């Protein structure tokens, strides 16, 4: 551990230098066409094996004074040279466009959608995408080809994967051509949904939201900003008179009827657990086609229903405390 700690600065130093260099050479963009600036090329592991055969043939040819063995050795060498060009040509001219990054729940895979095509209409064979530990072969790029790469997520918030490596061993595997691409894509990762018995609405409701309480002073729960449609009777004139703006009084019974999922209804739980439960409830209510709202410290989503509303809620939950600057 100690040595690892001591090495860390060096490792990070070089990693950072490498990343900086890559960023200068292949800056993050949403559309990139591969050219000689962006393509790296070197012997593959298989190519290493083939070069051992090349050396063996050379030694054999020299020692047995056998011109044909030497000829085959030269052939293999020539094949290497030819293959460099073919492998390079297989990546060169390829255009990669970031299409979309689909959201996911933490722990699940987020789908990153890329489009491959070639402005000059050339075909590209057998590419391999290696991205954040997942590998995905792209068999054939002919015309525009869309590829969905599922990348595993861990925590909620914005997920911006590191660079992807796009490589090719075509045609015979001796040479690998590759590039490191930052497609400037980020997926939103929702909290991992966690089921709970009690719907977190208002403060201390006990039912599944079925309980209907009569509105009363005792059930006064708090104030919130006036939104058009609130009954005028609930406006806190006292606050208005003090110049604190138009606030409306809210009552617990009201929450139970309209299902505003509330951060404060989950007291004492860790932040992530609260978010996970709220997420589950958003999904559950949305699935039941019900109308619901969401209240988080600093965020208030009014009652609504539908997929857009659900996604908006999930987005707020995902980014709670993690807003991208």
Partner 1 sequence: MGTVHVRYWQLAAFLLAILPQYDRLPSWLLAGVVLSCVWRLPSVERRIGLPGTIVRILLLLAGLAGVYTSHNTLLGPEGGVSFLILAAALKLLESRNARDIFVLGILDFFLLATAFLFSQSLLLTIYVAVALVGIVGALLVQQQRQGVGLRRTVWRAFVLVGQAVPLMMILFVFFPRLPPIWTLNLTQSTGKTGMSDTISPGDIARLGQSSEPAFRVEFEGEAPPTRELYWRGLVLSRFDGKTWTQGNEVPVEWGGGVPDGSIVNQDDTLQSVNYRITLEATDKPWLFALAIPRSNTREVGITRDFRLLKRTPVFSRFSYDVTSYTNDPMDSAGLSAWTHRENLSLPANANEQTKAQARRWRALMGSDARFVSYVLEWFRKEPFYYTLEPPPLGENRIDQFLFKTRRGFCEHYASSFVFMLRAAGIPARVVVGYQGGEKSPLGDYWQIRQMDAHAWTEVWLPGRGWVGYDPTAAVAPERIERGAQGLANDASYWGDSGLSVMRYGNYKLFRQARQMMDYVNYRWQKSVLGYDTEDQTSLMRRLVGDTSLLKQLGIMVSLLAVLGISLLLWALYGQRRREHPVDRLYRRYCERMARSGLVRAAGEGPHDFASRVAVSQPKEAERAMQIAKVYGALRYREDAPDTPVMIRRLKRLTRGRG
Residues that bind partner 1 (CB under 8 A): 36, 45-46, 49-50, 53, 56-57, 59-60, 62-72, 74-79, 81-83, 85-86, 88-89, 92, 120-123, 125-126, 139-140, 169-173
Q: In this structure, are residues 318 and 310 in contact, taking their beta carbons and an 8 Å threshold?
A: no
Runs of H (alpha helix) within the chain: 2-25, 45-63, 67-91, 237-241, 252-258, 271-287, 307-319
Q: Which token pair is 99? A: 């299409």
131 vs 170, beta carbon nearer partner 1 = 170
72 vs 269, beta carbon nearer partner 1 = 72
Q: CB 249 → partner 1: shortest distance, Å?
A: 59
40 vs 226, beta carbon nearer partner 1 = 40
Q: CB 75 → partner 1: shortest distance, Å?
A: 4
Q: CB 139 → partner 1: shortest distance, Å?
A: 4
Dihedral angle, C-alpha 205, 210, 215, 220, nearest 10 ° = 20
Q: Which region, left, alpha or beta, applies to residue 15 given φ > 0 means left and ψ of -120 to 50 means alpha?
A: alpha
From residue 62, give the alpha-carbon distance in Å to each of 21, 50, 67, 210.
44, 18, 8, 91
Query: Residue 161's closest CA among 178, 181, 135?
Result: 181
105 vs 116, beta carbon nearer partner 1 = 116
Q: CB 30 → partner 1: shortest distance, Å?
A: 16
Query: Residue 34's closest CA among 112, 87, 83, 101?
Result: 87
Q: CB 22 → partner 1: shortest distance, Å?
A: 23
Q: CB 86 → partner 1: shortest distance, Å?
A: 7
120 vs 242, beta carbon nearer partner 1 = 120
Query: Residue 102's closest CA among 188, 25, 26?
Result: 188
First to last CA, the chain: 35
Q: CB 152 → partner 1: shortest distance, Å?
A: 24
Kindly state the helix (H) or strand (E) to which residue 184 belongs, with its residue range: none
Pairing of strands 247-251, 164-168: unpaired
54 vs 252, beta carbon nearer partner 1 = 54
8 vs 53, beta carbon nearer partner 1 = 53
DSSP conformation class of 192: P
């Amino acid at each position: 551990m100690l040595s690892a700690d001591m090495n860390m600065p060096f490792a990070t130093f070089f990693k950072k230098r490498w990343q900086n260099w890559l960023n200068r050479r292949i800056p993050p963009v949403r559309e990139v066409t591969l050219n000689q600036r962006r393509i790296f090329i070197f012997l593959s592991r298989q190519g290493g094996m083939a070069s051992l055969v090349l050396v063996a043939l050379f030694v054999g040819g020299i020692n047995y004074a056998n011109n044909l063995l030497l000829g085959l050795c030269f052939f293999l060498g020539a094949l290497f040279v030819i293959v460099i060009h073919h492998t390079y040509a297989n990546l060169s001219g390829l255009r990669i466009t970031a299409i979309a990054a689909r959201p996911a729940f933490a722990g699940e895979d987020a789908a990153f959608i890329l489009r491959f095509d070639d402005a000059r209409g050339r075909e590209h064979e057998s590419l391999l995408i290696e991205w954040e530990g997942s590998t995905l072969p792209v068999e054939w790029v002919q015309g525009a080809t869309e590829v969905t790469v599922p990348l595993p997520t861990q925590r909620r918030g914005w997920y911006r994967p590191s660079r992807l490596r796009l490589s090719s061993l075509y045609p015979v595997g001796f040479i690998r051509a590759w590039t490191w691409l930052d497609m400037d894509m980020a997926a939103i990762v929702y909290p991992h949904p966690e089921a709970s018995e009690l719907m977190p609405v208002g403060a201390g409701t006990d039912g599944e939201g079925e309980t209907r309480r009569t509105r009363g002073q005792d059930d006064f729960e708090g104030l919130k900003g006036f939104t058009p449609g609130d009954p005028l009777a609930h406006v806190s004139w006292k606050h208005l008179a003090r110049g604190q703006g138009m606030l409306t009084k809210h009552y617990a019974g009201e929450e139970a009827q309209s299902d505003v999922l509330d951060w404060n209804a989950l007291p004492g739980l860790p932040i992530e657990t609260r978010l996970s439960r709220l997420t589950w409830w958003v999904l559950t209510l949305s699935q039941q086609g019900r109308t619901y709202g969401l209240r988080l410290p600093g965020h208030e989503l009014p009652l609504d229903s539908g997929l857009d509303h659900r996604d908006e809620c999930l987005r707020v939950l995902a980014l709670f405390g993690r807003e991208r600057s």
